[in-house]
Structures are given as C-alpha cells and as structure tokens.
Amino acid sequence: MKEQFLLELKKLFNLQNKDIEISSLKEQLESIPISIEKLNQQIQQLQQSVEINKSDLKQIQLQLKQKEGDIRSIEEKINKHNSELNSVKTNEQYKALLNEIQSLKLEKDKIETEILELLSKQDDANNKIKIFDKELNEKKSGIEKQIVELKTQQQVIEQQILQKESERQTLSNDINPKYLEIYEHVRKNRDGIALAIVKDKACGVCNMRLTQQEINEVSKYEEFILCESCSRILYIQEDLEK
Ligand SMILES: [Zn+2]
C-alpha cells in the first residue's frame, strides 16, 4: 500500500517537473512578441527622428525662400527710392526719401541676419538627418536579423511545448486517475505548483512551519497530506529518490 502510494507520488513528481518545464517554455514564448515589439520600436524611433528633422528642414527652406523674396523686394524699393532722389523737388522730400532708404537698409540687414541663422539651422538639420540616417542604416539590419532569430526561436519553443505536452500526456496516462484529479485540482488553484517539498521542517513553497506530527504523517505515504497554509501536497525528497 505504502509502496504503491509512493510510486504514484513519484509519478506526480515527474509530472510536476514536466509541468514546470512547459510553463517555463510558455513564459519564454510569451516574452518573444514583446521583445520583437521593442526592437521594432527602436527602428520606428530612429525613422521618426529622421522624419522630424526632414520636416524641420523643409520648414527652414520655406522660411529661407520667403526671406530671400523679402530681401529682393526691399532691394527693389531701395533702387526705386534711389532713382526718385534725382527727381524730388524739395529738401524735405529728399530727406524723407533718405530716411525711407535708411530704414529699408536696416530692415534688409535684419533679414540677412535672420537668413544667416536659418542657414545655420539648415546645416544642423542636415547633419542630424545624416546622423540618424546612418544610425538607422547601421542598426536596421542588425535589428531585423535579431527579429528573424526571435521568430525562429518562437517556432522552436512551440515545437518543444508540443513535444513536452505529449510527454506529459504519456506520464499522466500512467497515473492513478484518483490522484491525478487531486493533483490537477491543487495545481490549478495554486499557481501551477501542486507538490511542495518538506524542507527544514517547513513547507518548501510557502515556508509554513510543519509539526513533527505532520511530517510523520507525510512519511507514512498513505494519503495526501496537505500543507495547512497553502494546501499543497507535501512530500519528502529523499523518499521519492528511494
Ligand atoms: Zn505550504
């Protein structure tokens, strides 16, 4: 009776190891799309940086065109006023025209300074585009390669899970259904871990202290002894290795 029960417990122990392997593989599998997403985001961020600077550059070039047009029209006005200087009748008109020409020249200087600033901004934007473009080109192929590797890994893990699940099926077919049912029930309600090792006179999972009486009960192997705190099935490692 005890031997028989202990044998079933050993089978459950193997089943639990298989379940742990499967759930660890499933965790790895779930992490892959997240990693792929992060890699894709890296590419997108670099592409965005390039795009933002390209649109900045476009704005700067528009402003430059505008300012160059302003300069031309100011120059035309200055030329016009210069020729008008020859035909004015009074001193006052002459002075007024000179004032007008002077203020147009100041305006022109101001716009030329603005153009210089815009040209420097244009250089900055062009440099940034070059830098981000270079970074994008350098990183893109590496990232794409990483993504392909992750997708391959994904397929490998999916295969491994199928394999382990089939092994699990074989293991569980060989277990007394009465015990298997209890195992499955505890497993579902206890984060996938149904069996708890007795370690240093405590439940190895929830660390609840066990009385000597409880430990004695476990080592009888007549029925499942559950941890009072976490309700997992207790076992003693050395007994399973016998
Ligand atoms: Zn416990």
35 and 147, same domain (yes or no): yes
Domain boundary among 146, 173, 200: 173
Identity at 189, one-letter amino acid code: N
| pLDDT value of residue 176 | 96
Let me know if residue 20 belongs to a domain. no
Both 151 and 120 in a single domain?
A: yes
Number of domains in the chain: 2
Ion ligand 1, residues whose Cβ is below 5 A away: 203, 206, 208, 227, 229-230
Please tell me the predicted confidence (pLDDT) of residue 242.
79
Tell whether 3 is covered by a domain: no
- What pLDDT is attached to residue 32? 98
Residues 35 and 90 in one domain: yes
Structure confidence at residue 1 (pLDDT)? 72
In a domain, 35, yes or no: yes
54 in the same domain as 80 = yes
The answer to the question of residue 208 being in a domain is yes
Residue 110's alpha-carbon distances to 70, 106, 157, 160, in angstroms, are 11, 6, 67, 72
Report how far ligand 1's centroid is from the alpha carbon of 229 (Å): 5
Rounded to the nearest angstrom, the gap between the alpha carbon of residue 68 and the centroid of all alpha carbons in its chain is 46
Cα–ligand 1 centroid distance for 195 (angstroms)? 9
Q: Are residues 93 and 167 in the same domain?
A: yes
Residue 106 resides in a domain = yes
One domain, residues 91 and 59: yes
Measuring CA to CA, which residue among 81, 79, 86, 111 is closest to residue 97? 81
Identify the segments of the chain with pLDDT beneath 70: none
Cβ neighbours for 21, distance < 8 A, ≥ 6 positions apart: 164
Q: Identify the domain boundary among 173, 208, 233.
A: 173
Q: Indicate whether 4 belongs to any domain.
A: no
Predicted structure pTM score:
0.76
Token couple for 140: 């893109």
Residues 142 and 64 in one domain: yes
Which range marks the domain in which residue 66 is found?
25-173
Question: What CATH number has the domain bearing residue 30?
Answer: 1.10.287.1490
The pLDDT value recorded for residue 45 is: 94
> Same structural domain for residues 137 and 229?
no
Q: In angstroms, rounded to a whole number, what is the distance separating the alpha carbons of residues 101 and 98?
A: 5
Distance of CA 131 from the midpoint of ligand 1 (Å): 58
Measured CA to CA, the distance from residue 139 to residue 232 in angstroms comes to: 49
168 shares its domain with 199: no
Q: Are residues 100 and 198 in the same domain?
A: no
Q: Which of 116, 138, 173 delimits the end of a domain?
A: 173
The reply to whether 17 falls in a domain is no
How close is the Cα of 233 to the center of ligand 1, in Å? 8
154 & 184 share domain: no
The amino acid present at 78, given as its one-letter code, is: I
On whether both 158 and 60 belong to a single domain, the answer is yes
